[in-house]
Amino acid sequence: MSTLVEVRDLAKGFDVSAPWLNRVIERRPRQWVHAVDGVSFSIERGKTLALVGESGCGKSTVARLLVGLYDPSAGEVLFDGQNIARTLASPQALALRRRMQMIFQDPYASLNPRWTVRNIVGEPLTEHGLVRNDAELKDRVVELLRSVGLVAADMEKFAHQFSGGQRQRVSIARALATQPEFLVCDEPTSALDVSVQAQVLNIMKDLQRSRGLTYLFISHNLAVVRHVSDHVGVMYLGRVVELADKASLFATPRHPYTRMLLDAIPDIAMSGRARTPVQGEVPNPLSPPTGCSFHPRCPHANERCRQERPALVEIRGVRVACHAVEEGRL
């Protein structure tokens, strides 16, 4: 197995300071939100890494950093050995973009309402010079639509003529147009109903098998993550707190936050398992807590957790950022 994507100490800060005049008159300081703060992971070719976490934990920012929609403040992303930020600024940018594509959350906002599906799905093909003439373009678009369960006649339709699930299939067809190796999927099924979500997840799995795709799958839904992923990274306030293969993460979650997330899922089987009540909410990312950012909500926090930020270290095969796990208290 070779590594396709490697992320090293990736960080992204956003300047959210008040306007200059307010800063001068009201003596307000500059303010930064560290949306992503020192994240490292790698994805093997043909596998799926899922990033999971609550709103504001930075998972979508990671997705955007990976495809180059944001420039990292620090750290780097390596795609097949190439530094993404550097390559995208060089003449090789087009070749790199062809190899990685993104699927967005909202199928209503990510398709141009004035374009037909032929134009939407065909644009990457013409942009990258992958077709020579109109006839070839049409054949390729039809083939792409078929691969996601749509029909040739859908080509002349506009986005509003489709249901949410069909629109998301159009997004997938567009992403597949350049025959990428790596797809970044940012909450691709969150806007969909469960029966439609099942259709889209099945298509994504089938495509991965037939084309050997590598996915970064962003979601807040742990059940969906469990269904699609091979490895899972749990994020909290801009940092990865636990990184493990799917089986061990769901069977023996180590980090207290992972345990809390798993406990919070409504139990559809009604097995009557015991649940620890969840405390508190995600703190304001403008003023994250000192030390381990989870300590105000953590039942196992002690003085060290309040002061010293835990690093992501490997403990019995999984990577966890927690003093309690490291010290064997948990």
**Residues near other proteins, by CB under 8 A:** 54-55, 163-166, 193-199, 201-202, 205, 220-224, 226-227, 250, 260-261, 263-271, 275, 277-278, 281-282
Nearer to other proteins, 113 or 277 (CB): 277
Closest CA to 219 of 34, 42, 59, 7: 59
Min separation Cβ 203 and other proteins, Å: 9
| CA distances from residue 267 to 71, 94, 113, 126 in whole angstroms, order as listed | 40, 46, 39, 48
Nearer to other proteins, 92 or 163 (CB): 163
Nearer to other proteins, 2 or 271 (CB): 271
Nearer to other proteins, 220 or 304 (CB): 220
Closest CA to 107 of 43, 182, 189, 168: 168
Min separation Cβ 135 and other proteins, Å: 31
Closest CA to 192 of 179, 203, 201: 201
Nearer to other proteins, 122 or 238 (CB): 238
Min separation Cβ 145 and other proteins, Å: 16
| CA distances from residue 257 to 222, 247, 294 in whole angstroms, order as listed | 13, 17, 7
The alpha-helical segments, DSSP class H, found in the chain are: 20-25, 59-66, 84-88, 93-99, 117-127, 134-147, 164-176, 194-211, 222-228, 246-251, 256-264, 303-307, 323-326
Min separation Cβ 20 and other proteins, Å: 25
Min separation Cβ 123 and other proteins, Å: 26
**Tokens 């769901």 -> residue:** 250
Four-CA torsion 119, 138, 210, 174, nearest 10 degrees? 0
Nearer to other proteins, 31 or 202 (CB): 202
Q: What tokens does 189 get?
A: 């099924």
Nearer to other proteins, 22 or 202 (CB): 202
For 230-279, the three-class secondary structure string (H helix, E strand, C coil) is CEEEEEECCEEEEEEEHHHHHHCCCCHHHHHHHHHCCCCCCCCCCCCCCC
Min separation Cβ 325 and other proteins, Å: 19
Min separation Cβ 91 and other proteins, Å: 43
